[in-house]
Structure 1
Amino acid sequence: MRLSPTTWLERERAHHERADALTAEHRARASRRETHPVWDFLFTYYSYKPAQLRRWHPGAGVELEDAGERRTWRWYSPGTTPDGAVPDAAGFAAEKPELAGLVERMLRRTASRPGQFGCFGLHEWAMVYRADEHRHAVPLRLGQAGTDLVVESHELRCTHFDAFRFFTPDAVPRNRTPLTRDDQPLFEQPGCLHAGMDLYKWALKLGPLVPGELLLDAFELARDIRLLDMEAAPYDLSAWGVVPVPIETPEGKAEYVRRQRGFAERGAALRARLLESWLGADALMAV
């Protein structure tokens, strides 16, 4: 596929406008040196700046006519037209074989598994279980004793290592499955909120191989999931307008699972689009 300058410059312009709208509040807070316990996560934990989200790419194998300076950008190769350039999946794989292999394994294996919907967001509770100090300077909605009781009355079923690694020492042995970094591809599953949020991370790691529109779709999913993650957390975030989803109650559990399933469906569609845009339609046959 080839895109004329008229076409791709318009797509780039629309991308800039959408990205700017998505990051406007964060950039305004940053200019005032203000922090936010919910939304900063998207820019601190993932450590990607708004400028990276703003950069548009056409996706692997899509040639830009009259590409200008993009011809010198990383993981772009010369196109078939004068001054053309195309994001090069083979070049990326040759330069970053370990990263390419990891991203493909994570996307394929997660897509191949059924979703699990019995964790109820207790990973955040496990991060403060029996703790004298907490990662966030925010009061606990049920207090420390009430929070600990919720953890003790449930089975911890976390499948995501990057959440599990923040469990307190007392919470670690309470998890149904011990998790390690090396085993992460073995346990990641599409019902996990963090597996859905991580689609944004994988999209950014693939750089120009992912269409800009898909990158912003992944960011929007991560944003929406982050809100539920904090609504179901043990923190009292009422000062920031966050209404809790009380997962310690049957009603709260039901709401959490309902929304969790919706995010899993959105994540499955994005996961398929990432594989197809990066590796081609044949990649989906192997999922």
Structure 2
Amino acid sequence: MRREERHAERAERFVGPHRDRASRGEPHPVWDFLFTYYSLRPRQLRRWHPGYGVRLAGPAAAKFLGRSGYGRVDGSVDDTVAVTREHLLTRLPTVEFVHELLRATAARPARLNCFGLHEWAMVYRDPQPRHGQVPLRLGATGTDTVVESMPLRCSHFDAYRFFTEPATGRNAERLTRDAQVATEQPGCIHASMDLYKWAYKLGPLVDSELVMDGLALAADAREIDMRASPYELTDYGFEPIAIETPAGRAEYVRAQQAIADRAAPLRAALADACDLLRRAAHGG
């Protein structure tokens, strides 16, 4: 199956370097995030899924029967295999949530005035920064000064929840999990990054091409995110986006806009996939 082969090739570009670093015991402050914060393990990423409604036949189809969500198609004469409707029904609450979140996010205007300060807020007045093996580019005092020099305008709960306690009170609003659908907006670099998460959480109901598109976007967004962070990452090959300066903030906004532009069609594709799944679940 050519689609499965293409998927394996795309996955290996991410899994291979991660596997090699792990074998040497080398943590990476930028790329490990794709396999630690995000819960899809390398072996799971390697598995190709065609998506709901696609029937697989022939000798190669039998291996899918060992995967969660698959079964033989009733009435088939050639042992056809597909993701089952029963599996869809068990995953319908997730489908409904992801659909609501993506549609609500897409409907809002993009805000591009946070300047990536969420990473700075995660170490604000913290004697033990999260990436302890990587020094702060401006030191602890300089980092705190940057946070205090600009308003915090984070709209993404899963970034906000890692803020230090002194930083949470400086944010423009108190964010909560329950209000996530009401607060996420398409300019947020983390909202774009999380399209990878929503794609794999919908698996095997959506095809793996969407998952890999999400991972490719997440990787590029992660690079921008960490280049704009307070960490000194030049030894890892990442030049800083100095958001403490007007020129750096302008550079960040341009990069943030480019990520948002790439995220928009992927967000729409995932939301459309959710629409199809909802109709299938309700017999439409």
The normalised TM-score by structure 1 is 0.90
2:12 is aligned with 1:16? no
**1:259-274 residue pairs with structure 2 within 5 A?**
259-274=255-270
* Alpha-carbon contact 1:188-1:195 (below 8 Å) kept: yes
Decide which of 248, 254, 258 is 2:250's aligned counterpart: 254
Aligned-residue offset at 1:100: 2.5
What amino acid maps onto 1:95 in structure 2? Answer: T
- In 2, the alpha carbon distance for the partners of 1:263 and 1:238 equals 22
2:26 is aligned with 1:26? no
Distance 1:276 1:87, change over 3 A: farther
Aligned-residue offset at 1:72: 5.1
- In 2, the alpha carbon distance for the partners of 1:168 and 1:68 equals 50
1:70 is aligned to 64
* Alpha-carbon contact 1:209-1:278 (below 8 Å) kept: no
Q: Single out whichever of 91-100 and 213-222 deviates more from structure 2.
A: 91-100
Decide which of 51, 57, 63 is 2:43's aligned counterpart: 51
Task: Give 5+ residue unaligned stretches, structure 1.
Answer: 1-8
Aligned-residue offset at 1:281: 9.9
Decide which of 275, 279, 285 is 2:275's aligned counterpart: 279
3-state DSSP class of the match of 2:169? helix
**1:120-159 residue pairs with structure 2 within 5 A?**
120-137=115-132, 138-159=134-155
1:208 is aligned to 204
What amino acid maps onto 2:3 in structure 1? Answer: R
2:103 is aligned with 1:111? no
3-state DSSP class of the match of 2:100? helix
2:95 is aligned to 100
Distance 1:247 1:260, change over 3 A: same
After superposition, the CA RMSD in angstroms is 1.8
* Alpha-carbon contact 2:228-2:243 (below 8 Å) kept: yes
Percent identity over paired residues: 53
* Alpha-carbon contact 2:95-2:274 (below 8 Å) kept: no
Aligned-residue offset at 1:18: 1.7
Q: Single out whichever of 269-278 and 236-245 deviates more from structure 2.
A: 269-278
The normalised TM-score by structure 2 is 0.91
Distance 1:124 1:187, change over 3 A: same
* Alpha-carbon contact 1:59-1:277 (below 8 Å) kept: no
- In 2, the alpha carbon distance for the partners of 1:282 and 1:166 equals 33
* Alpha-carbon contact 2:194-2:218 (below 8 Å) kept: yes
3-state DSSP class of the match of 1:217? helix
2:235 is aligned to 239
2:86 is aligned to 91
* Alpha-carbon contact 2:95-2:278 (below 8 Å) kept: no
Deviations 1:2-40 (A, max 9, x none): xxxxxxx12111211221122211110011111000100
Aligned-residue offset at 1:73: 3.2
* Alpha-carbon contact 1:60-1:278 (below 8 Å) kept: no
- In 2, the alpha carbon distance for the partners of 1:101 and 1:129 equals 36
* Alpha-carbon contact 1:76-1:85 (below 8 Å) kept: yes
* Alpha-carbon contact 2:50-2:208 (below 8 Å) kept: yes
- In 2, the alpha carbon distance for the partners of 1:93 and 1:176 equals 39
* Alpha-carbon contact 1:117-1:260 (below 8 Å) kept: yes
Decide which of 189, 196, 203 is 1:193's aligned counterpart: 189
- In 2, the alpha carbon distance for the partners of 1:72 and 1:27 equals 25
- In 2, the alpha carbon distance for the partners of 1:165 and 1:273 equals 28
3-state DSSP class of the match of 1:24? helix
Distance 1:275 1:76, change over 3 A: farther
2:156 is aligned with 1:181? no
* Alpha-carbon contact 1:71-1:83 (below 8 Å) kept: no
Task: Give 5+ residue unaligned stretches, structure 2.
Answer: 280-284
